[in-house]
């Protein structure tokens, strides 16, 4: 029943979400360095939406945004959750960011110059893409080769100056937080940790304290403090995992479904054994998470887009019923993405 409960919490089983914001509200933070992957995560948890609906939430409604949070990579979050998630999860990332800047030849003074340039250009010109900001940084003498640019941009995000919001020419542009979101309220850390624990379990329960800490990118002591703060609202299972009390029964396993790169169902817990079994090295390697097919609650294939069509690579021969279901879902992937 553990897999059924987790898939239900993830909105992969049971009633789908009504819109992109509802998906992100449940999951709290969706890994977002792969633009197609984050959109496909929303597709798999909803019905009748398109990639354009996600773009609309990012660019017109300003209800969703992307920035560096949690584990030190880009995440898609609701605007209401940005300030407190940033306050909790950005501070631990400064040390690794400074280390990577140094490795890329960006001295502290050059990094400061870079953040100043980013703030000034966004303030004067409005939304700018990564390439446009790279040109302006290079003109100011700030290194942008290799991974230097991304880590200078990350520093501006960790400082709370910028987020990625509007979609321009198919690419998500950077904006100033104040201009895009307005002023934010002060964050009470203890309340924020409690909220983080509750929201994590809403989309990932049942889970343990180490699962929570890994997903959030926080020390284990912080994860435990958050769980202790909501102890009265938790059920403790016989296996030691916890979940929110009073949740509806888990839904049956979902029909076969295609999931995108970096799907959240692979990123919420310390172990992926439950979903991937012996195929972990095929689906995940060197920090990359390939698109895969979920069949009867387990990974059954990887897939890719080739010439506008879904190309499936099963781990073993699929029953005809499952193969047919994946063919139907592949057509919905094409519909959702608007691939021609």
Query: pLDDT (tens digit, 9 = 90+) per residue, 227-274?
Result: 999 999 999 999 999 999 999 999 999 999 999 999 999 999 999 999
Q: Which residues of 258-289 are buried (b: 16+ CB within 10 A; e: fewer)?
A: bbbbbbbbbbbbeebeebbeebeeebbeeeeb
Q: What angle in degrees, to the nearest 10, is found between the helix axes of 79-89 and 189-204? A: 110
Token pair of 5 as six digits: 């409960």
> Which CATH architecture does the domain made up of 190-244 adopt?
Orthogonal Bundle (1.10)
What are the pLDDT digits (tens) for 88-101?
999 999 999 999 99
Q: Could you tell me which of 17, 34, 77, 28 has the C-alpha nearest to residue 198?
A: 28
Residue-wise pLDDT for 103-162, tens only, equals: 999 999 999 999 999 999 999 999 999 999 999 999 999 999 999 999 999 999 999 999
Compute the mean pLDDT over every residue in the chain, rounded to the nearest whole number: 97
Residue 307: phi and psi, rounded to 5, are 55, 40
Q: Are 196 and 88 in contact (CB under 8 A)?
A: yes
> Domain spans of the chain?
2-181, 190-244, 257-337
Q: What pLDDT sits at residue 122?
A: 98
Least Cα distance to 180 among 194, 164, 203 occurs for 164
Q: How many CB atoms lie within 10 A of CB 168?
A: 13
Cα atoms in the Cβ-side hemisphere of radius 13 Å centred on 72: 14
> What string of DSSP letters covers 226-247?
HHHHTGGGEEE-TTS-EEETTP
Whole-number Cα distances in Å, 58 to 11, 31, 163, 165, 180: 21, 15, 11, 5, 11
Alpha-carbon Rg for the chain in angstroms: 20
Q: Quick: pLDDT tens for 205-227.
A: 999 999 999 999 999 999 999 99
Tell me which DSSP letter residue 310 carries: E
Confidence of residue 56 (pLDDT cuts 50, 70, 90): very high
Q: What is the pLDDT of residue 127?
A: 97
pLDDT at 300 over 80: yes
pLDDT at position 312 over 80: yes
pLDDT at 169: 86
Say if residue 184's pLDDT is above 90.
Answer: no
pTM of the model: 0.96
User: Crossing angle for the helix pair 209-216 and 189-204, nearest 10 degrees?
Assistant: 110
Other Cβ atoms closer than 10 A to 324 = 12
Residue closest to 154 by CA, chosen among 169, 137, 140, 179: 137
Q: Return the pLDDT at 89.
A: 98
pLDDT for 39 beyond 80: yes
Phi, psi for 66 (deg, rounded to 5)? -125, 135
């Amino acid at each position: 029943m553990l897999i059924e409960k987790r898939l239900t919490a993830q909105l992969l089983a049971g009633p789908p979400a009504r819109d992109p914001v509802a998906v992100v509200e449940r999951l709290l933070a969706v890994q977002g360095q792969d633009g197609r992957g984050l959109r496909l995560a929303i597709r798999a948890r909803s019905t009748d939406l398109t990639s354009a609906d996600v773009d609309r939430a990012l660019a017109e409604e300003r209800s969703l945004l992307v920035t560096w949070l949690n584990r030190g990579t880009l995440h898609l979050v609701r605007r209401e959750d940005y300030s407190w998630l940033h306050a909790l999860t950005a501070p631990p990332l400064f040390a690794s960011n400074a280390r990577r800047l140094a490795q890329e030849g960006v001295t502290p003074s050059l990094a400061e110059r870079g953040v100043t340039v980013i703030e000034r250009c966004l303030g004067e010109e409005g939304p700018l893409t990564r390439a446009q900001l790279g040109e302006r940084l290079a003109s100011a003498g700030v290194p942008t080769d290799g991974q230097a640019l991304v880590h200078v941009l990350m520093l501006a995000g960790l400082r709370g100056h910028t987020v990625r919001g509007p979609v321009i020419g198919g690419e998500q542009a950077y904006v100033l937080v104040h201009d895009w979101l307005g002023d934010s309220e002060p964050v009470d850390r203890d309340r924020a940790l409690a909220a983080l624990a509750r929201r994590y379990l809403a989309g990932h329960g049942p889970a343990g304290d180490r699962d929570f800490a890994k997903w959030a990118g926080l020390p284990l002591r912080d994860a435990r403090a958050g769980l202790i703060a909501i102890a009265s609202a938790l059920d403790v299972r016989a296996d030691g995992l916890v979940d929110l009390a009073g949740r509806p029964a888990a839904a049956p396993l979902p029909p076969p479904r295609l999931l995108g790169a970096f799907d959240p169902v692979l990123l919420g817990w310390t172990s992926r054994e439950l979903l991937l079994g012996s195929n972990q090295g095929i689906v995940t390697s060197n920090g990359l998470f390939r698109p895969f097919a979920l069949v009867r609650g387990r990974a059954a294939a990887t897939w890719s887009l080739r010439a506008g069509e879904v190309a499936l690579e099963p781990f073993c021969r699929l029953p005809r019923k499952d193969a047919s279901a994946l063919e139907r879902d592949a057509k919905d992937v094409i519909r959702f993405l608007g691939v021609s």
